[in-house]
Amino acid sequence: MKSIFNIASIKAAIYVLLFAYFVEIMQGLKFVELIGLSNYKIARILIGTTFSWTDIVCYTIGILVVIIVEKLRYSK
């Protein structure tokens, strides 16, 4: 995201996390099935088909690590 947009690291991390949450919610709502793409393997791969709380936790931890590393990196 930072290679495309001139945006602060923390703001970029939050946007990425919100996007990941959005995708996970769409998986929980069976979005691929709702829009009639469940027969298309590429749609199932790109959007996903299974909601997981573990994914939500891992996305959150990953972004927290990024934010901590960025804060440490720029505090020196």
Per-residue pLDDT of 22-60, as tens digits, reads 999 999 999 999 999 999 999 999 889 999 999 999 999
8 A C-beta contact, residue 8 and residue 70: no
- Per-residue confidence (pLDDT) for residue 54, from 0 to 100: 97
| Backbone φ, ψ for residue 6 (5° rounding) | -85, 90
Q: Measured at the alpha carbon of residue 4, what is the angle toward residues 61 and 27, in degrees to the nearest 5?
A: 45
User: Does pLDDT of 11 surpass 70?
Assistant: yes
Structure-token pair, residue 39? 């027969």
- Tell whether the model's pLDDT for residue 1 goes beyond 90: no
